[in-house]
């Protein structure tokens, strides 16, 4: 790792601590893999909100939505998110694609002073990954359904504190480094 990057890493840690970092963005933008890389760089714990809910419920988010309805899943999501935001240790949190779309969750996140980063990937790339992925995503069963959701949520993603463009073939580590570069100058 070059020394200039080590300095950026240190500045990013100073700027953020102890704020939580929340990675938001549509399904298929790579929130979990980028979040893991970012947590590694910043030496923080990584938490995947969907995995946390799945562990608690013994079912995947997709199964919860399918069996109990989306609103039940959103209740569980808001509860788990609130608990993570209350936690005293600084974490990198990958939120599910719909978490930031909820005004209640945005309020929780913003009032906790967490730092939000939107992984902005074009719809075509998201859909390619959704289609290829093994995850069960009942809210994106068809291209049309996913595209409508993408368009409806896009204005809310613009409300995140920072935006990092994501393109096909970019590796998660490189995207995480871009996030660090973007955070560090905010110290000035």
Residues that bind ligand S3P (CB under 6 A): 27, 31, 50, 61-62, 65, 96-98, 135, 137, 139
In three-state form (DSSP H/G/I as H, E/B as E, the rest C), the secondary structure along the chain is CCHHHHHHHHHHHHHHCCCCEEEECCCCCCHHHHHHHHHHHHCCEEEEHHHHHHHHHCCCHHHHHHHHCHHHHHHHHHHHHHHHHHCCCCEEEECCCCHHHCHHHHHHHHHCCCEEEEEECCHHHHHHHHHHCCCCCHHHCCHHHHHHHHHHHHHHHCCCCEEEECCCCCCHHHHHHHHHHHHHHHHC
Query: In the bound complex, what is the minimum distance in angstroms from residue 14's beta carbon to ligand S3P?
Result: 30
Look-up: residue for tokens 């899943």? 73
Query: In the bound complex, what is the minimum distance in angstroms from residue 77's beta carbon to ligand S3P?
Result: 7
Query: In the bound complex, what is the minimum distance in angstroms from residue 65's beta carbon to ligand S3P?
Result: 6
Query: In the bound complex, what is the minimum distance in angstroms from residue 179's beta carbon to ligand S3P?
Result: 17
Query: In the bound complex, what is the minimum distance in angstroms from residue 18's beta carbon to ligand S3P?
Result: 25
Q: Please, which residue, 96 or 172, has the CB nearer to ligand S3P?
A: 96
Q: Please, which residue, 63 or 181, has the CB nearer to ligand S3P?
A: 63
Question: Which residues sit opposite 22 in a β-bridge?
Answer: 93, 116
Query: In the bound complex, what is the minimum distance in angstroms from residue 162's beta carbon to ligand S3P?
Result: 18
Q: Please, which residue, 12 or 139, has the CB nearer to ligand S3P?
A: 139
Gap between the Cα atoms of 77 and 131, Å rounded: 24
Look-up: residue for tokens 């980063």? 117
């Amino acid at each position: 790792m070059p020394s200039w990057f080590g300095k950026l890493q240190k500045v990013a840690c100073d700027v953020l601590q102890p704020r939580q970092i929340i990675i938001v963005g549509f399904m298929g933008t790579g929130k979990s893999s980028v979040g893991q890389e970012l947590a590694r760089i910043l030496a923080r714990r990584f938490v995947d909100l969907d995995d946390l809910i799945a562990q608690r419920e013994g079912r995947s988010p997709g199964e919860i939505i399918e069996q109990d309805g989306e609103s039940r899943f959103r209740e569980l999501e808001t509860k788990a998110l609130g608990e993570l935001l209350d936690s005293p240790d600084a974490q990198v949190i990958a939120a599910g694609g719909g978490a930031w779309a909820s005004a209640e969750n945005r309020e929780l996140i913003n009032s906790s002073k967490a730092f939000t980063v939107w992984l902005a990937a074009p719809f075509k790339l998201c859909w390619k990954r959704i289609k290829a992925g093994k995850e069960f995503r009942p809210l994106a069963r068809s291209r049309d359904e996913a595209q409508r959701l993408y368009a409806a949520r896009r204005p809310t993603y613009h409300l995140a504190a920072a935006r990092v463009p994501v393109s096909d073939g970019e590796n998660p580590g490189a995207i995480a480094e871009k996030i660090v570069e973007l955070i560090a100058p905010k110290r000035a």
